[in-house]
Amino acid sequence: MAAGGERAMRASVVSVPLLVLLHLLMICSSSAATGRGAGDAGVEADRIAALPGQPKVPFQQFSGYVTVSTTAGRALFYWLTEAYGNHLSKPLVVWLNGGPGCSSVGYGASEEIGPFRINKTASGLYLNKFSWNTAANLLFLETPAGVGFSYSNLSSDLFDTGDRRTAEDSLEFLVRWLDQFPQYKGREMYLTGESYAGHYVPQLARQILAYNLRSKHPINLKGIMVGNAVTDNYYDNLGTVTYWWSHAMISDRTYRQLINTCDFRQQKESDECESLYSYAMDQEFGNIDQYNIYAPPCNSSDEKWSFASTRQGIRLPHRPHKVNFRQISGYDPCTEKYAEVYYNRPDVQRALHANTTGIPYKWTACSEVLNRNWNDTEVSILPIYREMIAKGLRVWVFSGDVDSVVPVTATRYALAQLKLAIKIPWYPWYVKKQVGGWTEVYQGLTFATVRGAGHEVPLFKPRAALQLFNSFLRGDPLPKS
């Protein structure tokens, strides 16, 4: 999510001033204490023998750090789950979650497309039979520094980051990671993700295209796929408010006031507009999960978990800054909480080769500090889409149709601005003889909805999401029956 809408942030476990002090102290917690520097280990040092409570699997896993800035001491954490079967014959798929500031390990790997799910007691793992590593090698990247286990020794990095540095550091990560894993050099690569990764994925693709022009060893990028993606500030805002109204979440009166009062092109809305947003959410929405409007929210009174959700007070780049989201999403609406427990276990961190420098705060699914201090965001990603289409990259965009945070209407409004010629007109696509959603194939881009899926499509509709992924990898239109 998480997201420009990915996930809302849990209250920081330390105050901001203390966080600054602790990050400065991290420099003293040097990697010398671990016996190896971040990113210096070879492939074998990053091999995962087994995670605590993990069932036996026939594929290999690796995780660890890659340093992307020696000056600042920025290191990004990754987790590679190789494909079932002959992994050498299958592509490399990079997955990014958004936020901005949310973890691909906590979301993508643990409750969406990864091979494992965390059980309700956070005591172990069980298999996800719809894992995307049945078709590809999956590389989960926690980016930028400050997300999940990724870190920087320069405390100011957490208060001065944004789209540009995230893209640059992610490219640096890939270049250095491929040096560490040379068996993946030249392999077909696809970039995937959701929500605010609607910025990360195209921006990283643009960085790769520029890198390939000057490199003797270009990265074999073949395409991108993003879901419920933050795309264009104006059309995302307009489409979101329209979705609320068309799904009876707000009144006619509030809808008219939002349309007539708010200037959706602005990064910072007027106080009057922000008040209207707050009224809609506080007075008209009710206690729903905005990431899936038809799913029950996680009711903390029914659970043993005592800590707050990470969805506390997210700032959406395409929405007014005062908007707060308080519900949890998920087929199991409390699944995010299991990750918070599991990834803070010392034995889990040791198995993952994570937190090797002694990061002075708990692992959280999202970083509120990063989210609140996101300093640059592109107003529209549509120009990058045009560039990628012109370069011949495969571009797929999908949308779970019961997400009200980055809804299908927003995506359709945005993509319409590309004015692409239609190759295959709108039709229903099928999963096991049931309508999985609807799709239209354009010249250079495929758009698909996933029926009944929320913001995290693979969480709510795992079988349909895997069908979508397989069709994307093959470059084939979704099945008509």
Q: Which two three-digit tokens encode residue 135? A: 């078709």
Q: Which two three-digit tokens encode residue 382? A: 């549509």
Pairing of strands 221-227, 394-400: parallel
Q: Which two three-digit tokens encode residue 77? A: 């954490």
With a CB cutoff of 8 Å and minimum separation 6, the contacts of 157 are 72, 74, 144, 145, 146
pLDDT in the model for residue 333: 61
- How confident is the prediction along the chain (481 residues), in pLDDT tens digits per residue? 445 444 444 333 333 334 433 443 333 333 333 333 333 446 899 999 999 999 999 999 999 999 999 999 999 999 999 999 999 999 999 999 999 999 999 999 999 999 999 999 999 999 999 999 999 999 999 999 999 999 999 988 989 899 999 999 999 999 999 999 999 999 999 999 999 999 999 999 999 999 999 999 999 999 999 999 999 999 999 999 999 999 999 999 999 999 999 999 877 788 999 999 999 999 999 998 899 999 887 765 444 433 334 433 445 555 544 333 333 333 466 677 899 999 999 999 999 999 999 988 899 999 999 999 999 999 999 999 999 999 999 999 999 999 999 999 999 999 999 999 999 999 999 999 999 999 999 999 999 999 999 999 999 999 999 999 999 999 999 999 9
pLDDT in the model for residue 336: 75
Closest CA to 401 of 390, 393, 410, 414: 410
pLDDT in the model for residue 360: 85
pLDDT in the model for residue 283: 96
Q: What is the CATH number of the domain that holds 110?
A: 3.40.50.1820
Quick check: is 23 in a domain?
Answer: yes
Closest CA to 453 of 289, 246, 339: 289
| H-type alpha helices, 226-304 | 233-246, 252-261, 271-279
- Ordered DSSP codes for 409-439: HHHHHHHHTT-PPEEEEEEEEEETTEEEEEE
Phi, psi dihedral angles at 65 (to 5 degrees): -115, 150
Quick check: is 221 in a domain?
Answer: yes
Quick check: is 200 in a domain?
Answer: yes
State the sign of the Cα–Cα–Cα–Cα dihedral 342, 346, 351, 355: positive
CB 349 within 8 A of CB 134: no
pLDDT in the model for residue 318: 55
Quick check: is 168 in a domain?
Answer: yes
CB 108 within 8 A of CB 193: yes
- Quick check: bond before 144 cis, omega within 30? yes
Helix/strand/coil (H, E, C) string of 3-36?
CCCCCCCCCCCCCHHHHHHHHHHHCCCCHHHHCC
pLDDT in the model for residue 43: 87
Identify the domain containing residue 257 by its residue range: 1-476
d(CA 480, CA 462): 19
Phi, psi dihedral angles at 62 (to 5 degrees): -140, 145
d(CA 371, CA 144): 11
With a CB cutoff of 8 Å and minimum separation 6, the contacts of 438 are 426, 427, 428, 429, 448, 449, 451
Number of domains forming the structure of the chain: 1
Closest CA to 385 of 454, 442, 319: 442
CB-based burial of residue 182 (10 Å sphere; 0-12 exposed, 13-18 middle, 19+ buried)?
Answer: exposed
d(CA 216, CA 37): 28
Pairing of strands 394-400, 445-450: parallel
Quick check: is 481 in a domain?
Answer: no
d(CA 209, CA 392): 11
d(CA 462, CA 453): 9
d(CA 236, CA 248): 18
The neighbour count for residue 453, using CB atoms within 10 Å, is 29
For residue 321, give Cα distances in angstroms to 9, 51, 196, 371, 456.
13, 39, 16, 11, 23
pLDDT in the model for residue 326: 31
Q: Which two three-digit tokens encode residue 280? A: 């809609």
d(CA 198, CA 226): 6
* Residues annotated as catalytic (active site), given as ranges: 195, 403, 455
- Ordered DSSP codes for 321-365: TT-------SSSTTHHHHHHHHTT-HHHHHHHT--TT--SS---S
Quick check: is 244 in a domain?
Answer: yes
CB 366 within 8 A of CB 8: yes
pLDDT in the model for residue 331: 45
d(CA 9, CA 117): 22
Q: Is 156 helix (H, G, I), strand (E, B) or coil?
A: helix
The partner residues of 437 in beta bridges, in order of sequence, read 429
